Structure 1
Amino acid sequence: MNIFHIIWIIGVLVYQIGIYIPRVRDYKRKERVALVALPGDIFLELTTWVFWQFAPFFYIFGNLLSFANYSLPNWASWLGVIIFGASLWLYGRAYADLGNNWSARMEILTGQTLVSNGVYAYIRHPVYAAMFLWAIAQPLLLHNWVAGFGLIILFTPLYLTRMPREEKMMAEHFGEAYKTYMQKTNVSSQ
């Protein structure tokens, strides 16, 4: 284990304990108005999660993935630290700006409002952008083809299949307000 592994572990703990878990507690109490999910969504979400949070621990704490190790210069790993920090900041900011509108799934919650302030004034999908930043940082911090690059390989199809349906759902629910918002902002990764 090296300093970059420790930074990654600390980042996961910051995300889970400081950003994600507080939202999930409130989210579980909310009533859903509409859920737009396909059977393949759960598979993509689960496999993305495995390579986001699970496979890296196998790499860091075991030898199971050692066949896929590679080396990078320290400056590349420090660049990964900066990108990783930006990802955590963007996650925290996006979740805070969403407030009670945050949802773990592609759904509309009772009383949900259109959020267009904070980071949402500049980036239409900052949570997806934060995940892409994490996916870029991970192979710079974890020098392993499986634990490092698995996330971006699996998150990309999730993003490409989910984001257009999410846009459609939001446009149908919020109508002209969302269409106006779409014209003012950029999609997270285009």
Structure 2
Amino acid sequence: MSIAAIGKALWVLGVVAWYLIRRPYERRAKRVQIVSHRRSLSEKVGLAAALIGLGIVPGFHVATGIPQAADYPARAWAVAIGAIAFVGAMWVFRRTHKALGRNWSITLEIRDRHELVSNGPYAFVRHPMYTSFLLMGIGQAFLLSNWVGGLAGLVGFAILFFLRVNEEERMMMETFGPQYRAYMEKTKRIIPYIY
């Protein structure tokens, strides 16, 4: 098996792991009443960009090899870095879902008896789910030796992040007020101690 094929196989395994982590929380979330939400066009565009960049474009490349003109030689060290980043992404992703519990949702929603979560990965950053998506994008860039398929994840993440994070923080401020402001002062957005 070539190094490029190993990178593609590891990417597929990472996406399967992502789905297996997400699915039970998605099913449970349907049973908890939504009190308010911020579904908007910009949020839909951000979620679509993340799906396209972290799923559809790389999946199409892995399945077909297209666009072959954007391929470059795969390197074992790059695949190793990509695998480490993807494992880190799945670890953060799992811990984030576990910490959120019944508060989790795919869209910007406040649920019945919603609580401000500040434990687990939330003790370090306000948006660890975005941290996991950033790590997935980095992992994808190293695992897939194709400029389009590899970098699509970082583009998708960036669009999601910049279209959604400010609105998410506004919603949390309106819901939790001074408690969320104090939490913001203690934590960074997605990279501990940096940003």
TM-score under structure 2 normalisation? 0.92
**Counterpart selection for 2:162 from 143, 160, 163:** 160
Give the corresponding residue for 1:3.
Answer: 6
Give 3-state SS (helix, strand or coil) of 2:151's partner: helix
Q: Aligned pair 1:16/2:19, yes or no? A: yes
Give the corresponding residue for 1:45.
Answer: 47
Question: Identity, % of aligned pairs?
Answer: 33
**Counterpart selection for 2:117 from 95, 115, 121:** 115
Work out the CA distance in 2 between the residues paired with 1:103 and 1:120: 16
Work out the CA distance in 1 between the residues paired with 2:42 and 2:165: 14
Where do residues 29-178 of structure 1 align in structure 2 (5 Å cutoff)? 29-178=31-180
Work out the CA distance in 2 between the residues paired with 1:177 and 1:41: 25
* Counterpart residue identity of residue 88, structure 1: M
Work out the CA distance in 2 between the residues paired with 1:124 and 1:39: 23
Cα offsets for 1:125-147 (capped at 9, x unmatched) = 10001100111110100111221
- CA drift at 1:73: 2.3
Q: Which runs of 5+ in 1 are unaligned?
A: none
Give 3-state SS (helix, strand or coil) of 2:160's partner: helix
Give 3-state SS (helix, strand or coil) of 2:114's partner: coil
Q: Which runs of 4+ in 1 moved over 3 A?
A: none
Contact 2:127 2:189 in 1 (8 A): yes
- CA drift at 1:120: 0.7
- CA drift at 1:171: 0.9
- CA drift at 1:111: 1.1
Work out the CA distance in 1 between the residues paired with 2:187 and 2:30: 30
TM-score under structure 1 normalisation? 0.94
Q: Which runs of 5+ in 2 are unaligned?
A: none
